[in-house]
Amino acid sequence: MDVSVERKVDKSAVEIELLLAALSKCYGYDFSNYSYSTIHRRLKNRVSLEGVEWISDLIGRVVYEREFAFKIINDFSINVTSFFRDENFFSTIRKKVVPYLKTFPYFKIWHAGCATGEEVYSMAIILKEEGIYDRARLYATDINHAALLHARESIYSNSDINKAQKSYKNCGGKLSLEDYFYSRYNSSIVSPSLSSNVTFAAHNLVNDGVFGEMQLIICRNVMIYFNNELKRQVIKLFKSSLCPGGMLCTGNKESISGLTKDCEFNVFDNKAKIYKLDQERYEPSTYY
């Protein structure tokens, strides 16, 4: 073997593969099917924050320091969110999805990748104003424990509420947004009448199972960070978690077309990215 010949390999890719293997083996978090560019960018940022030279300089700490490993896991989960994010989406929920939910005496909604909770409380407000909150049970899940802690506390800054006021009104809001919060120490706390039917829980879309039989699943701005293989796997999980004719919502820059066999989901509203599970082709859950 000629030891002077160096193989041409992408060394960053090797370092990333080793670091992701350490996270998966030591802590059970598998990011191997996340978009490579996101993982690369976030790790480069962590390298600069820690003042080290290489991504591989982080691996020992990932293996031996649990807290540090979770810092990296949180680096990979981007928690950007806001109340009534995407006005067209929430208007469509009010105008076209609420009539469907009203056909059920009792229904379940799953917010997968709920971040700090603003999306689920926006939905809860719409359900309240349309008179069907009492029939609803909202499950909101995420992998990021810090984000879930914030969501469970349900305390938001007054400026977040003020900023969302216009979007709330544009989505058909009937009151003033602050009516759903009470004020303490310059913060806004979600009123218990809005949080009583909401449950926050840890759930990893990569390797956790089916989440009950839902009428509606909302997974917005989450699959955008996944490669196509993982998107297909997660869509299959959603299909198995929906009731016949149930609906799946994605973010407005996402689409499930080409990722699922034709006819399993029909487009319900193309602009709002809402899909309806084909009632005729429904098969009981076979996923797990």
Q: Which residues, at least 6 apart from 283, have a Cβ–Cβ distance to it below 8 Å?
A: none
143 binds ligand SAM (CB under 6 A): yes
147 binds ligand SAM (CB under 6 A): yes
Instruction: Please identify, using beta-carbon distances, which residue of 193 and 204 lies nearer to ligand SAM.
Output: 204
List the beta strands (DSSP E) in the chain: 107-112, 136-142, 155-157, 181-184, 187-190, 198-202, 214-219, 242-250, 265-269, 274-277
Determine which residue in the list 33, 77, 195, 215 makes contact with ligand SAM, applying CB under 6 A: 77
For the bound state, the minimum distance from the C-beta of residue 283 to ligand SAM, rounded and expressed in Å, comes to 24
φ/ψ (deg, to 5) at 153: -65, -35
- Residue 95 and residue 171: Cα distance in Å, rounded? 9
Determine which residue in the list 123, 142, 177, 211 makes contact with ligand SAM, applying CB under 6 A: 142
**Stretch binding ligand SAM (CB under 6 A), from 56-64, 138-146, 188-196, 262-270:** 138-146
- Residue 196 and residue 54: Cα distance in Å, rounded? 47
78 binds ligand SAM (CB under 6 A): yes
**Stretch binding ligand SAM (CB under 6 A), from 18-26, 203-211, 254-262, 264-272:** 203-211
For the bound state, the minimum distance from the C-beta of residue 253 to ligand SAM, rounded and expressed in Å, comes to 10
11-27 and 66-76 helices cross at what angle (nearest 10)?
Answer: 120
Instruction: Please identify, using beta-carbon distances, which residue of 103 and 248 lies nearer to ligand SAM.
Output: 248
249 binds ligand SAM (CB under 6 A): no
Instruction: Name beta bridge partners: 190.
Output: 181
Let me know: does 111 contact 138? Beta carbons within 8 Å. Answer: yes
Q: Site residues for ligand SAM, window 93-122 (CB under 6 A)? A: 113-115, 119
Determine which residue in the list 69, 93, 206, 248 makes contact with ligand SAM, applying CB under 6 A: 206
Strands 187-190 and 181-184: antiparallel
Question: Residue numbers of the site for ligand SAM (CB under 6 A)?
Answer: 77-81, 85, 113-115, 119, 142-144, 147, 204-206, 220-222, 251
